[in-house]
Structure 1
Amino acid sequence: MGAEAPKYLIGPGDSLKVFVWGDPELSSEVIVRPDGLITTPLVEDMQASGKTPTELARNLEGNLSKFIKNPKVTVTVTNFVGQYTEQIRVVGQAAQPQSLPYREHMSLLDVVIAVGGLTEFAAGNKASIVRRINGKTEQFQVRLDDLVRDGDISANVEMLPGDVLIIPETWF
């Protein structure tokens, strides 16, 4: 029996479309606040962060059933940011250091492209990824210069949710 596929968990900053069937005035588009809550027509301050879209839809149905008979709700994530702990952080000598939403099968090359590449001062082959594995923090070297500047695709590695890519400055 195979492992269950990971489910997307809503996070602060995600944009959601809440559709209430047969009741357009209760349907809305909302952004999950930094505290993880959302407010929709008739439902104030509901926890959204950490739930799947389906779980949130069932919670909204429960709250809306106080006001309307047998509500049917669908929640669609229209702009993804994701849980903070799942984001990939890029620090150091990237053109645009930032946190990125994790995407399934995201590679090191995908991350480098998303942050605009390396600065001229980057020591790409001394870069490293910090990753939590079974509760322990581990750090391993990656070869960004070989990957980006020399096109060595063997230097491309798969990124995991929560990874931190550190790109140090070269010393002349």
Structure 2
Amino acid sequence: MPTATDAQSEPYEIGVGDTVSVHVWRNPELSQTIVVRPDGNISMPLTGDVIAEGKRPEELASEIRVALSELVRSPEVTVMVVNPASKEYRNRVRITGQVEAPQSVAFQPGMTVLDLVLLAGGLTDFAADGRATLNRQVDGEYKTFGLDLGELISEGNMDFNHVLQPGDVISVPRKQIFRGEL
């Protein structure tokens, strides 16, 4: 199981729905506050559409500076994220399946598997607690890690009480009941 990283230390990437303020020094007519469109672009005077999604603010500023340099002498561009709306969805943790109340909640540093299970009201009687999984994005792709929630909740085995990261999803499958079992 990978260890948790401090999500606050990672550089912010602009996302759809974020509001960015683009300031072009000594060119107030080119400065504006813009919402990133669903296609990931912003529209700027003189440059047209510029892809903003997935870029750090300084990367976007550099790209706008290069585009404007063909029309404006030595443009100085600053980009600030003034409303990080996309972060609300990226920085969530989720629990699905056989819990009393499946949840998607805002990530809080230090949040653990047990915290999320308790927020979801605990497991249902039909939960296959030994087959639960934690799905986490690692190096751009989702990895699945086994969780024994029965050991964690009933036995207090903290080996399964992992610290969560933004984007984590806990899945609790249903028990398989075979005919003839009572």
Is the TM-score greater than 0.5? yes
1:87–1:163 contact (8 Å) kept in structure 2: no
Distance change >3 Å, CA 29–CA 99, structure 1 → 2:
farther
CA RMSD of aligned residues (A): 4.2
Distance change >3 Å, CA 51–CA 133, structure 1 → 2:
closer
The equivalent of 1:131 in structure 2 is 136
Aligned 1:1-172 pairs, distance under 5 A: 6-77=10-81, 78-82=83-87, 87-92=91-96, 93=99, 97-98=103-104, 105=109, 107-108=111-112, 112=116, 117-119=119-121, 126=129, 128-133=133-138, 137-141=143-147, 157-166=162-171
2:62–2:77 contact (8 Å) kept in structure 1: yes
Deviation by residue 1:31-82 (Cα, 9 ceiling, x = unmatched): 2222221112323221111211111101001111232211111111231525
Q: Taking every aligned residue pair, what percent have the same amino acid on both sides?
A: 30
**Equivalent residues, number:** 157
For residues 142 and 121 of structure 2, the distance between their equivalents in structure 1, rounded to whole angstroms, comes to 31
Gaps of 5+ in 1: none
Gaps of 5+ in 2: 1-8, 176-182
Q: Which one has the largest radius of gyration?
A: 2
3-state SS of 1:59 partner: helix
TM-score, normalising length from structure 1?
A: 0.63
Distance change >3 Å, CA 161–CA 119, structure 1 → 2:
closer
2:133–2:144 contact (8 Å) kept in structure 1: no
Distance change >3 Å, CA 121–CA 169, structure 1 → 2:
farther
TM-score, normalising length from structure 2?
A: 0.60
What amino acid is aligned across from residue 27 of structure 1 in structure 2? S
